[in-house]
């Protein structure tokens, strides 16, 4: 497991379960995305991963990095893609008056939040929802959706998973 946050709780949990871990803090790299991504690739390469799962990874990967790991990178995004790519998804859904919100797992391509969708989970937006409350509710769906998609993807089954919560 590799994180761009050296203090990520998942690193300790993974290590306790015997999973190799590493951290590459993006901050010292500043705007040098190529050097940051090279360091990540250096950590990943010896393991020859079949799947690279992004979760809470708030960095945009370069086309070069994506090309090296093409077809192996998955990301979970807190909107029902193709709606609301990028940031502030919950506030945007509420402001637009959407009836539903949710999350999507997609294969990563060089274009932001634009790869093939492998799964979506949705729920109704409640009248009292704030961006924060909606975010928490969608996060619970993310924790159901990502494992379900990963189970299929690991079997080379690319049929989308759909969950209503």
Structure tokens at 62: 């370069």
Is 77 one of the annotated active-site residues of the chain?
A: yes
Task: Compute the Cα dihedral for 135, 141, 107, 154 and give only its sign.
Answer: positive
Q: Is-contact 141 123, C-beta < 8 A? A: yes
Can you read off the two tokens belonging to residue 134? 């909606």
Question: What are the counts of helices (DSSP H) followed by strands (DSSP E) for the chain?
Answer: 5, 7
d(CA 142, CA 165): 10
Helix (H, G, I), strand (E, B) or coil at 14: helix
Beta pairing partners, 82: none
Residue 66 parent element (H or E): helix 63-68
User: Which one of 26, 77, 88, 143 is the catalytic residue?
Assistant: 77
Active-site residue list: 77
């Amino acid at each position: 497991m590799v994180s761009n946050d050296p203090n990520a709780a998942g690193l300790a949990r993974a290590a306790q379960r015997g999973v190799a871990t590493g951290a590459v803090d993006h901050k010292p790299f500043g705007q040098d995305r190529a050097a940051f991504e090279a360091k990540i690739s250096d950590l990943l390469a010896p393991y020859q991963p079949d799947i690279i799962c992004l979760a809470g990874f708030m960095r945009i990967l370069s086309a070069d990095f994506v090309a090296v790991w093409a077809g192996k990178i998955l990301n979970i995004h807190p909107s029902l893609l193709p709606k609301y790519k990028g940031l502030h998804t919950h506030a945007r859904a509420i402001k637009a008056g959407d009836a539903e919100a949710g999350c999507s797992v997609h294969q990563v391509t060089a274009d932001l939040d634009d790869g093939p969708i492998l799964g979506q989970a949705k729920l109704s937006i409640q009248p009292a929802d704030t961006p924060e409350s909606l975010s928490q509710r969608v996060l619970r769906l993310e924790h159901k959706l990502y494992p379900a998609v990963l189970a299929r993807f690991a079997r080379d089954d690319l049929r989308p998973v759909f969950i209503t919560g």
